Every structure is written in C-alpha cells, then in structure tokens.
Amino acid sequence: MPDMGRPPPVIGFLTDFGLDGAAATCRAVMLSICPDAHVVDIAHTVPKYAIADGGFIFAAALPYFPVGHHVAVVDPGVGTERRPVALRTERGDILVGPDNGLLLPAADALGGATGARALSDRAWWLPVASSTFHGRDIFSPVAAHLATGDATFEGIGEPIDPADLVRLPEPTVRVTNGSLQTEAIYVDTFGNVRLAGDRDALVAAVGAAGGDVSVRIGGGEPVPARFAATFGEVAVGETLVYIDSSGHPALAENQGNLAARTSARRGDGVVIERT
C-alpha cells in the first residue's frame, strides 16, 4: 500500500514509443500500483531504437528532477537475452530500463551508478508478461513498486556489478593547438547541434567566449562562426558556438535551424578552429 504521508513520488519516463497510447498504458500501470505518483513524461518521440539519443535526453533532464525512480525504454533487443535492470545512483535515484547503454549517461550525470540489479524477481512484474512490451509489463511495474515502497532495490533481483553494464562507446574529443575535434552527440528540435566535451575543452582550444572561429561539420565546408555567450550576440541567420544548458559545446544558427541547413546528424565529426 502506498504511504500517503510521504511526498508524492516522482517518476521520470522516457521512451521511443511515440504518441499513440503505449506510453500512456505504461503510465496507467504505474498509477495502478502507485496512485499518487507524479509520472513526468520526459520524451516519447525519441527516434525509434536510438539508444544514444534517448540516453542524451535522459541525462540532460534528470539532474533537474527530484530524486526519484525513473524509467527509460529504448529497447531494440526487447525479448532477447539483454537484461532488464535497475541502477542506483550516487544521488539516490533508481533508474529502470534495459541494459543496453541507455541508462548509464544519466547515472553518470547523477554521480555515477553505485549499484545494479537484474529485474529477475517476477513478483514485481505484471502477472502476464509479453515478450514484446517490457515497458508495460516489467519496467513500469517494477519502478512503481519501488516508488510506492512495496519493493526494495535489493528485493527486485540478482545484483550486478555496475562495471559489467553495457556502455555505449564514448565519442572522441581532442584539443590541439587552436582546434577542438569533437563529435555531434545530439541534434535538438531547434536544429542545434550538441557536441561531446565541455566548456574547458572548448576554451582550451579556441580561447574565451567572444572570438571568431570556423566550424566544420562532417566533411562539409568551414563555416564562419562566433563563440558567443548568447544567441543574440550574432545576427539572425548567423552561426554561433556556445555552451549549451547541459554544459556541452554546441552549434546553432540564431533563430534558424543549423542542422537543417548543414544536414548535421548525430555521429558527425566536428572541428572548431580559432580564426
């Protein structure tokens, strides 16, 4: 039974299920088990099977959430031998989803994974579990039982060494004199291109904000740009390099869509040079 004296538990929820009812079905399962949960839809339009995109969004959002029991499902291997897991983070959250690399960026953003469990105890699943919809049948009910206090982290299944969890390959970031070689790790809905690395790497390569730079995306032509603190520092339609709201270097066109203009995509190599 939920303990209605505690504050309402918060469950962040991300999938690639789209907007046609599957995510809402999972939410209903969670509410059936934990009626006072605040389930917060982080995104359900993650491109299908795009584990890296889902991982980026989950990691960018969760640091702004209350400590909670958060669920992510981008799961091309559903029904195969990939493990359903839960991770405990240094901050105190529990992250629930498939062991395919999706959860670890968020765990890193919350201080790292301090423990992991396989979701092997079927007592916390729905009574009948399909082989194609683990979001509804395994991940959501386990998270809700944890949120409501029925289940404990130790009680949901066998321990796993966090070092054994599947991790996506890290993008390469290299700073050489006057140049940052990095990689597009996410393209947002504004067409802004988020890059691997951080402010220190960008400043080490091209100096402090305010300077002129050139940007090459993929095999494209160099584009003149400015390392700016705000979009408004460059004219409408011009290109800027900035530190995004998650602390990554990023590329944008002021009031335009840089990714549409340059065909930039996740995985593209990017070089930023002082000019």
Positions touching its own copies (CB under 8 A) are 7-8, 10, 12, 14, 17-22, 24-25, 27-29, 31-32, 35-36, 38, 40-46, 48-49, 57-58, 60-61, 64-66, 76-80, 130-133, 136-137, 188-190, 229-232, 242, 244-245, 255, 257
Cβ proximity to its own copies: between 76 and 159 the closer is 76
How many CA atoms within 13 Å lie on the side-chain side of 19?
Answer: 3
Decide if 27 contacts 13 (C-beta within 8 A): yes
To its own copies, the closest distance from the beta carbon of 191 in angstroms equals 8
To its own copies, the closest distance from the beta carbon of 219 in angstroms equals 26
To its own copies, the closest distance from the beta carbon of 120 in angstroms equals 18
Q: How many CB atoms lie within 10 A of CB 188?
A: 15
Cβ proximity to its own copies: between 153 and 190 the closer is 190
Cβ proximity to its own copies: between 35 and 178 the closer is 35
To its own copies, the closest distance from the beta carbon of 177 in angstroms equals 28
To its own copies, the closest distance from the beta carbon of 200 in angstroms equals 16
To its own copies, the closest distance from the beta carbon of 42 in angstroms equals 4
Cβ proximity to its own copies: between 141 and 157 the closer is 141
Cβ proximity to its own copies: between 79 and 111 the closer is 79
Decide if 117 contacts 99 (C-beta within 8 A): no
Cβ proximity to its own copies: between 124 and 133 the closer is 133
